[in-house]
Structure 1
Amino acid sequence: MKQKKKDTIFYVFTVISCLVAMIVVVIAALLVYDKIKEKAAEKAQKEAQEALAQTPPLIYTQDDVDLMVTKAVNDAREQAKVEGEGAILSTIQERLAQGSTVMETLRPLYPDKLVISSGGIYHFVPIQYDLKMHERKQENLSVLESGELQYKVDEEVVTQKGIDVSKYQGDIDWKKVAEDGVEYAFIRVGIRGYGEEGKIVLDDKFTKNVTGAKKAGIKIGVYFFGQAITEEEAREEAAFVLKQIAPYDIDYPVVYDLERVSAENGRMNALTPTQRTDVTIAFLEAIKEAGYQPMLYANTEMLGVLVEMERLEDYEKWFAYYGTEMYFPYDYAIWQYTDKGAVNGIKGDVDLNISFKGW
């Protein structure tokens, strides 16, 4: 029995010794493995540092930097262009769907250009910021219930109400016109026919309109519808006007009405912008030399495309633009804003104007 017990104790002791030995071996193996890993890491780090030391640094010249910057800017512009074109197309689609005209749709998209339709073509004319600009603000323009326009500064009306008339308004009751608040009237002296002959003709109602307006206390200016194709003809037109207005006291400017006629035989239609400008200056200078205030009447097409506007910088302008938007950026003294106006004393439509300065 004692022998059996001794054998059992010996067996247990042997097993425990083996387990302890195995644990010691495992621990030793782990320690060796960690040491090997540490050595490997140190070696790898050393090799990396040696490799880095052997790698030359990246050096960029100014030209390299400029090229990289240019490429980045171009990439950004191209991306913006793609995104911008999509937004523009959406805007165009939306405005046209709302009933806007092509012109009304295009103009806000080109703030630094005048968008002008002339001869069946859309012209995108760069604004010449070195020319005189008006400083008026759209929010200062008031539209009355009657449709008339007024321009205010500090809530005070600073414009004068005016009309322009010819034989097409028939017999005018100038007393009623004055009572309706009209302060001045431009009266047509005559025209040069736009056919081949180009005959100068006195307006049938000129004398009656001048005397009637003056009697009613309305200030008057005059205009002549020109179709001269040479400077000599322009001076002939001016001489005709000066002869007709000589008996009267003219308060407002003497105007050269410069228009592109729709008829195919329009005498001035074939002129170049330079020729048309030469003719216009010849008329205006003749009026100026006679002691009157010269003025040019024209619309956006004429001023933006058909004449050399920079050469007309020194002359007062009467600008024709039908609507309430102050689209034209250049300076002008008078604005003809509708040809469908109504004034007491005149049967039918009449042109309405506001003047930003008085004479």
Structure 2
Amino acid sequence: MVLCVTTACGPDFRDPGEVFEVRGVDVSHYQGVIDWEALAKDNHHFSFIKATEGRELRDKAFAANWSSAGQWGFCRGAYHFFRPEVPASIQARHFFDVVELEVGDLPPVLDVEERGRLSPADLVTSVKQWLKMAELHYGVKPILYTGQNFYNRYLAGQFDEYPLWIARYDAEEPVTVCGRDYQFWQYTDEGQLPGVVGDVDRNVFYGTRIDLALLCIPPRSANPVDDLAKFGE
């Protein structure tokens, strides 16, 4: 899909939020009190909401944002900000303690933006551990979030079985070195939207609203087996 029809991306540039059918935001306490009704009326369909970070941080706005997003009909997803210096098993269990997902919610999200002192191989191992634990706990494959450059340098080709949400803040859509598809594109961190004071991250989904619903947690006849002991503490 061509979003910019001139090489300079000048007058003919079209905002991805005007091109794609399914639009959304991601938020944390940094956005303050959000008017979710206004966002819904502005034709936004999904929201990713920060829940946890590292070993023990809980986003102070998560509970309010989570409840309000659900009330106003958003497909909502919760995300954990990954800290490479903290064992993945501890981070996963911290997220599980805070986030209870329901049928119709988006899968859990792991936000990976830094390598810290981990080697590239150890980073991949740690991220895989979090994702596998979350899949076992919630019974659905988690979504991996990262930036285009970070993905291409450290993560490409390692997580093809997981949905991908990728950030690239310019007129061009993300390009992965391995050629894999992605489901979500975070295209700006300077969005201005009704219901949000200040900047907010804006995103689009590659598909229809039906496709988005199919990505969400489906009804199931039994709870997934929560056999996490093998991952240690």
TM class by shorter-chain length? 0.7 to 0.9
Task: Identify the residue that residue 169 of structure 1 maps to in structure 2.
Answer: 31
> Alignment partner for residue 253 of structure 1, among 107, 114, 125?
107
Task: Identify the residue that residue 153 of structure 2 maps to in structure 1.
Answer: 305
> Alignment partner for residue 209 of structure 1, among 65, 80, 86?
65
Larger of the two Rg values belongs to structure? 1
TM-aligned CA deviation for residue 271 of structure 1: 1.1
Q: CA RMSD, aligned part only?
A: 2.2
Runs of 4+ residues deviating >4 angstroms: 139-144, 247-250
After the TM superposition, which residues 256-267 of structure 1 pair with which residues of structure 2 at under 5 Å, given as runs? 256-260=110-114
Q: Does the CA-based 8 Å contact 2:84-2:118 persist in structure 1?
A: no
- State the distance in 2 between where 1:250 and 1:143 align: 34
> Alignment partner for residue 161 of structure 2, among 301, 314, 322?
314
TM-aligned CA deviation for residue 221 of structure 1: 0.6
> Alignment partner for residue 353 of structure 1, among 177, 180, 203?
203
Determine which structure has greater relative contact order: mean sequence separation of CA pairs < 8 Å that are 6+ residues apart, divided by chain length.
2
After the TM superposition, which residues 67-78 of structure 1 pair with which residues of structure 2 at under 5 Å, given as runs? none
Q: Does the CA-based 8 Å contact 2:184-2:204 persist in structure 1?
A: yes
Whether 1:326 aligns to 2:182 is no
* Identity between Structure 1 and Structure 2 (%): 28
Q: Does the CA-based 8 Å contact 1:143-1:149 persist in structure 2?
A: no
Alignment partner of 1:313: what SS? coil
- For structure 1, the 5+ residue unaligned runs are 1-136, 152-156, 193-198, 261-267
Task: Identify the residue that residue 186 of structure 2 maps to in structure 1.
Answer: 336
Deviations 1:131-176 (A, max 9, x none): xxxxxx33699954xx34354xxxxx5x410000000000011111
Task: Identify the residue that residue 92 of structure 2 maps to in structure 1.
Answer: 238
TM-aligned CA deviation for residue 229 of structure 1: 3.5
> Normalized against structure 1, the TM-score is what?
0.52
Task: Identify the residue that residue 138 of structure 1 maps to in structure 2.
Answer: 2
- State the distance in 1 between where 2:42 and 2:141 align: 27
Q: Does the CA-based 8 Å contact 1:174-1:213 persist in structure 2?
A: yes
- For structure 2, the 5+ residue unaligned runs are 6-11, 216-233
Given the superposition, is the C-alpha separation of residues 354 and 298 from structure 1 closer, same or farther in structure 2, using an over 3 Å criterion?
A: same
Task: Identify the residue that residue 225 of structure 1 maps to in structure 2.
Answer: 81
Partner letter of residue 135 of structure 2?
K
Q: Does the CA-based 8 Å contact 1:321-1:338 persist in structure 2?
A: yes
- State the distance in 1 between where 2:111 and 2:121 align: 17
Whether 1:287 aligns to 2:137 is no
Partner letter of residue 182 of structure 1?
H
Q: Does the CA-based 8 Å contact 1:229-1:279 persist in structure 2?
A: no
Q: Does the CA-based 8 Å contact 1:173-1:345 persist in structure 2?
A: yes
Paired residues, number? 199
Given the superposition, is the C-alpha separation of residues 166 and 186 from structure 1 closer, same or farther in structure 2, using an over 3 Å criterion?
A: same
Deviations 1:219-270 (A, max 9, x none): 101111010346xx2122122222222265562121110012xxxxxxx421
> Normalized against structure 2, the TM-score is what?
0.78
Partner letter of residue 171 of structure 1?
V
Q: Does the CA-based 8 Å contact 2:48-2:76 persist in structure 1?
A: yes
Partner letter of residue 136 of structure 2?
E
